[in-house]
Amino acid sequence: MMDPTRPENPDSRCGFVAIVGRPNVGKSTLLNHILGQKLSITSRKPQTTRHQVLGIKTEGPVQAIYVDTPGMHEDEPRAINKYMNKAASSALIDVDVVVFVVDQAHWTSADQMVLDKLERLTCPVILVVNKVDKTERRETLLPHLEMLAAKREFAEIIPLSALRGQNLAPLEEAVGRFLPESVHFYPDDQITDRSQRFLASEMVREKITRQLGAELPYSAAVEIEEFRQDGKTLHISALILVERQGQKKIVIGDKGERLRQIGKEARQDMERLFDSKVMLRLWVKVKRGWSDSDRALKSLGMNDL
């Protein structure tokens, strides 16, 4: 009798890869470039990612299941920060490979905190030194790499630029090498385990974060109230939740201009992702204290841990 855990193809490999690091080091950008399309939302604002997002990359016999995680941060005073740290830490359970992303120029106490969380892991840890395209002189990078190499015994140290898509091939090759022999867990053409409703809500939230990050720190969430295909058109209705009346006015903007711009940019991303014409409708509602309340977070679907 054939062992179902053994692949028919002896070269077949499959496993889970956690992408971890402090906020704003480029984890989501890295995942998007590996997949070749936008899946995880990005912005210059730290802690944009709130959920674990699975990105599935199948290349011949190798299927790598990447888990993009929220940035781990040191302060946990708010319910949403606790949720994000829990999401990031739980991604380390039972993974086959960890990709630890750091910045090419700085090592911070937040980086050290992440490294400490990796201390007891027995799986390979690949250190990715991101944003090397910003390094003007090679001789300034080499001492930084030597300092990082002394932090622990990494399986590989790979400098790259996630934003530019530079030097991703060595990373993917290393990941594939460390994955266990296994049948593929997902169909070869599947890129995520997340629903289209979830991806739509994240597209809206990205546009809010990019345009209003300084004015709405951690204070906007998005609920999808309608997601319906009618012929060739996908009808999506999204509710944007903020914590105060003044924030509602900021999101709507002068004569609704800001809300229209958010909707336009989100719709364009959705049409590319879903390969369909999209009719997007947005509303804004005040829901006080949602980011401080565990109950409110659960009502927004942040209870999957």
Report the C-alpha gap between 11 and 280 in whole angstroms. 45
21 annotated to bind ligand: yes
> With the C-alpha atoms ordered 90, 94, 99, 102, is the resulting torsion angle positive or negative?
positive
**Euclidean distance between the first and the last CA atom of the chain, given in angstroms as a whole number:** 37
CA atoms within 13 A on the CB side of 210: 15
> With the C-alpha atoms ordered 37, 7, 96, 179, is the resulting torsion angle positive or negative?
negative
Distances (CA, A) of 283 to 60, 106, 237, 242: 44, 40, 8, 11
71 annotated to bind ligand: yes
Structure tokens at 127: 């250190």
28 annotated to bind ligand: yes
Report the C-alpha gap between 241 and 47 in whole angstroms. 18
72 annotated to bind ligand: yes
23 annotated to bind ligand: yes
132 annotated to bind ligand: yes
- Nearest of 188, 190, 192 to residue 61 by alpha carbon: 188
69 annotated to bind ligand: yes
- For tokens 């990050």, name the residue: 213
Structure tokens at 85: 């740290």
131 annotated to bind ligand: yes
The pair phi, psi for residue 287, each rounded to 5°, is -130, 95
Is residue 184 helix, strand or coil? Answer: coil
Report the C-alpha gap between 57 and 186 in whole angstroms. 10
Report the C-alpha gap between 234 and 223 in whole angstroms. 16
Report the C-alpha gap between 221 and 223 in whole angstroms. 7
CA atoms within 13 A on the CB side of 295: 3
27 annotated to bind ligand: yes
Residues at the annotated binding site for GTP? 21-28, 68-72, 130-133
Residues at the annotated binding site? 21-28, 68-72, 130-133
